[in-house]
Amino acid sequence: WEQPLNQRLATAMALQWVNAPPYRLVDRFRHTQQALRDGLMHVSFESLDVREMRWAVPNYGSAKDFQFLLDDRQTLLRDYLGAHGGVRYVSNNVYGVSCQDGWNYVGPWAHVYGNGTGNRPFPAHRQMGGVCGTVSTYGSAAAQVHGIPSTAIGQPGHCAYVVRVGREWPVGNSVTWPSDASVPGWEGTNYPTMNSLYEPVNQDRERFMKAARLGWLAQLQLERAKGQVRILPGLRYSVYTAGVGAPLPDFSKLKADKTGTCNAIDLAAVLPSPASNFGVVWEGQIETSGTGPLRVGIQSDDSSRLLIDGKPVVAASCNRQELEVTLPPGRHDLRVEFCQGDGGLNLQVTMESALIPTATDWMKTYELAITAQPSNYGTWLEYIKVLEPLKDVSPKTWLTLARGASRHLAVCNESGWAVVMRCLNKVLPGMTPAERVEVLVACNRELRQDKWYKMVGFPYEGILSWQADAIGDPVLAVKFMGNLLAIHHSPKPDGNWIFGNVLSWGANRFAGKPATGPAHAAVMAAFFQGQGEAVDKNLLTTTVQTGIRKASESGDIVSFRLWSDMAAK
């Protein structure tokens, strides 16, 4: 256990094991150590840190599966992208049973090959083949078992897998680019961010650790800023049964039938018999810390009230009431009064931290963390998730964050929009449609394809539709599309992925509809005229033909004439 490698391996496996049997975790740990001693692990394994090792040890399959994979294939790192070829792609076994039937497919050979865990009998499938799920899982497991970070991923209607090679995660057994991979990367993003940003950020250790430490400091400052409260042990309670009904009486004029001490305000623990026409008073102290406000609440049937330092704070009568209070740190006197007539019986007292105050050092520290590594999506996300529940975050703060994210995360378009959308969702509803267009245009100017680390496509149409919906004015949304064409156009539009998406999205959303079709035709005419002699004639021809057809099919006379005039010119 004193060896750093064993410490990293044990930590990574424990974090990744989730609900698998604990004994198997210990067995797999020892098995991996033995594979390392036997020289069966890839040469890079010993240099992996805990984060990397979490991807590099499979947590499924039996010991027989594990050893089989160790012995079955050893190759160069990048060649594991072709490891899936070790399992033949075949849907049915010799008995005509589909691979999709799970156990029935491999059952006849289980006594020879074993059944693994979760119907992943690698030795059996190596002999009998399988469909894309089996093929890709084998390819990924073949890499993982030798200590190479890998994971199976989803593609629409297909299963593929990725292998970590340097600073990227290229795809094996792919039929289309994986845009919806569910992998242990960053929340709110998928494969495009993982392949182009996840490793550059994590492998830049100096900046990454500086950002992480500042994030930890911000969390500490955040906790200290919150108001904290606890009821101290040794509460004194008094139970009254004479002269008590549904309304709260003046308990100072009554004589208690029963007294005692307790550590919590628990009505069930002090109920008299019969439990009607009685009252209870609890007296003691609370201890508070932090500078933030507290939310004090009380709910009762029948009546109740709560006093702090002798002053009434909140009262209820067959309902719930709560109030925010700010108390100096230290000890304060607490008194809770309750009375019950007939019928329903209930008392709940809550004292907890209210929303976090924003005018404190933790916000500045988060901003320093972002400055330390501006492309660290994880830091951006952590800061925004803390801000989102708060009520007093100004619109200016959300706008500043959105603009900063669009600038610093432009290296990976998907991650940039993931942050920008969360920020703008807080501020756009309070703007006019024209103001929304201005903000969105500014973000698009930053989030351009020519700023990416690497071109990786993703479902961009959803981003465009979100922007058009957020504008809230269909005609302004069409004009906004014209701005996007100008921003994202390049001398080679056929190689500009964003431009192509904007073009097709605009045609699908706006063309052929009387409310937006004419404006769309006018925007496209202005765009093509602006290109002058440099216009792409094939693109122009296709666009005009599509516009004429859609206008004709929808009976949009105005758009039909506009497109026909374009064709004539």
The more confident residue out of 346 and 224 is: 346
Pick from 124, 542, 187: which is nearest to 382 by CA?
Answer: 187
Strand partners, 303: 317, 339
Over range 406-424, report the average pLDDT.
96
Pick from 184, 223, 225: which is nearest to 202 by CA?
Answer: 184
Output the CA–CA distances (angstroms, integers) from residue 388 to 158, 213, 295, 370, 425, in the order listed.
36, 22, 19, 17, 10
Residue 172 contacts residue 148 (beta carbons within 8 Å): no
Output the CA–CA distances (angstroms, integers) from residue 296 to 2, 145, 228, 288, 389, in the order listed.
49, 54, 12, 12, 19
Kindly tell me if the per-residue pLDDT of 432 is higher than 90: yes
User: Exposed (0-12), middle (13-18) or buried (19+): which is 95, by Cβ within 10 Å?
Assistant: exposed
Tell me which DSSP letter residue 232 carries: P
The more confident residue out of 180 and 477 is: 477
SS3 at position 509: helix
User: Tens digit of pLDDT for each residue in 164-182?
Assistant: 999 999 999 988 777 555 5
> How much is the pLDDT for 510?
93
Q: In which residue are the tokens 């609900």 written? A: 19
> How much is the pLDDT for 190?
87
In terms of phi and psi (left: phi > 0; alpha: psi -120 to 50; beta: otherwise), the region of 300 is beta
Over range 17-28, report the average pLDDT.
86
Kindly tell me if the per-residue pLDDT of 324 is higher than 50: yes
- Out of 106-115, 181-190, 202-211, 453-462, the most confident range is 202-211
User: Tens digit of pLDDT for each residue in 507-541?
Assistant: 999 998 889 999 999 999 999 888 888 888 888 89
Average pLDDT taken over every residue of the chain: 89
Binning pLDDT at 50, 70 and 90, where does residue 119 land?
very low
Residue 358 contacts residue 393 (beta carbons within 8 Å): yes
Q: How many CA atoms lie within 13 A of 484 on its CB side?
A: 31
> How much is the pLDDT for 116?
46
The more confident residue out of 17 and 283 is: 283
> How much is the pLDDT for 391?
81
> How much is the pLDDT for 18?
81
> How much is the pLDDT for 453?
85
> How much is the pLDDT for 495?
64
> How much is the pLDDT for 102?
67
Cα–Cα distance between 141 and 150 in angstroms, integer? Answer: 8
Cα–Cα distance between 565 and 545 in angstroms, integer? Answer: 12
User: Tens digit of pLDDT for each residue in 226-262?
Assistant: 778 999 999 999 999 988 887 899 999 999 999 999 9
Backbone φ and ψ of 555, nearest 5°: 70, 25
pTM across the whole model: 0.79
What is the distance of C-alpha 37 from the center of its chain?
39
SS3 at position 116: coil
Give the pairing of strands 278-289 and 228-231. antiparallel
Binning pLDDT at 50, 70 and 90, where does residue 117 land?
very low
> How much is the pLDDT for 245?
81
Binning pLDDT at 50, 70 and 90, where does residue 359 land?
low
- Of the chain, the percentage scoring pLDDT greater than 70 comes to 94
> How much is the pLDDT for 539?
86
- Of the chain, the percentage scoring pLDDT greater than 90 comes to 59
Q: How many CA atoms lie within 13 A of 317 on its CB side?
A: 5
Residue 328 contacts residue 363 (beta carbons within 8 Å): no
Kindly tell me if the per-residue pLDDT of 118 is higher than 50: no
> How much is the pLDDT for 462?
93
Over range 40-44, report the average pLDDT.
94
